[in-house]
A and B are shown apart, each in its own frame.
Chain A
Amino acid sequence: MCIRLATYEDRREADYLRAIFAGRGNTLENTVFLLMTPDGKTRLTPGGRTPDWVWEDASAMAQGMKAIAARYRPGGEIRGVPCMATFRLSLNVAACDSLPLLAAVGAKGEDAAVAAKSLEAIAWAEGLRGRIAFAPPTSIADLAATGIRVDKPGIYFIEPETYGMTGTAKGSVALDAETDAVREFAKAQLGRFVVPVKSERSHIGQGRAKGIFWKTAIPVEDTNGRRGGG
């Protein structure tokens, strides 16, 4: 099971991460990494900033993870729609991962939950798994707040712009469309999606020049690392 949290975006998660690994002065570092038991209470590896703190290289990491996984007998398939807490954060994280975003958009937001089963099927489908990011049930107003205009509810395939502050709705299907129809829609859209290539240096330089700055939910504590953010 892979869980990746966005640092400095949730107080409760930040406290959990800090208890696992903290920097000097008990600061929450930009990155945290470790393996945990299924209940999230016991460490299976030491906590650190990255996998390099635990294993020498990728091969050792693969062997270590396989050995840990072999101790457990999984009970059932993973379910759910893996996503971030908000549409705004989902859009940014999708941009970070250079992935398109699939969002169930309702008039009010909660009415978009009707699409959860379809999105769940797509999230874990062979050939689509890990190639599309998902947003939580979203409202038309949530999209408008990021500059994305849509005129009706639906499941939208969204291309994030390079900074993940806004994006473009490339197409949609009905919220209550059959799962097969949503899957085919997602496959077709994904086939047209051009994976963006980013240069860290120019991305940051141009972002600064344009005045595009991300506002975190809680203050960034790790100001001594190479990166002020990620």
Chain B
Amino acid sequence: MTTLLLACAAIASTQEPMVTARDGGIVWFGDLVAGLNEAKRTNRPVMLMSAAPHCHNISGIW
């Protein structure tokens, strides 16, 4: 997840030099069908990942 966030920050920083944390994070589609429908409709490649929203079965943490 750290690599992902750093990469997104790197991409953003080349486009908008003044980007800060308060400018927002990643907007994730959490539903496969809805996400793919939008990707197809807008002709955008998909960054797909999955993660379990629990750690050692404890919720509230990736």
What are the residues of chain A within 8 A of B61 when measuring CB–CB? 95-96, 198, 200, 203-204, 230
State the Cβ distance, B29 to closest chain A Cβ, in Å: 5
User: Does B47 make an interface contact (CB < 8 A)?
Assistant: yes
B59 & A204 in contact (Cβ 8 Å cutoff): no
- Give the number of residues in A that approach B within 8 Å (Cβ atoms): 91
B40 & A34 in contact (Cβ 8 Å cutoff): no
Q: How far is the CA of A89 from the CA of B26 in the complex (A)?
A: 18
Q: How far is the CA of A200 from the CA of B2 in the complex (A)?
A: 15
- List residues of B (27-62) whose CB comes within 8 Å of A's CBs: 27-32, 34-36, 38-62
- Which of B32, B55, B56, B59 has the most CB atoms of chain A within a 10 A radius of its CB? B59
User: Does A144 make an interface contact (CB < 8 A)?
Assistant: no
A35 & B48 in contact (Cβ 8 Å cutoff): yes
Option from B1, B6, B35, B58 in Cβ contact (under 8 Å) with A1: B35
Binding site for A on B (CB under 8 A): 1-4, 6-11, 14, 22-32, 34-36, 38-62
The 8 closest A-B pairs by CB, nearest first: A58-B6, A130-B25, A229-B54, A207-B58, A61-B7, A62-B10, A3-B35, A130-B24
Can you offer 7 A-B residue contacts whose CB atoms are under 8 A? A2-B29, A20-B48, A74-B43, A75-B42, A80-B29, A82-B34, A203-B61
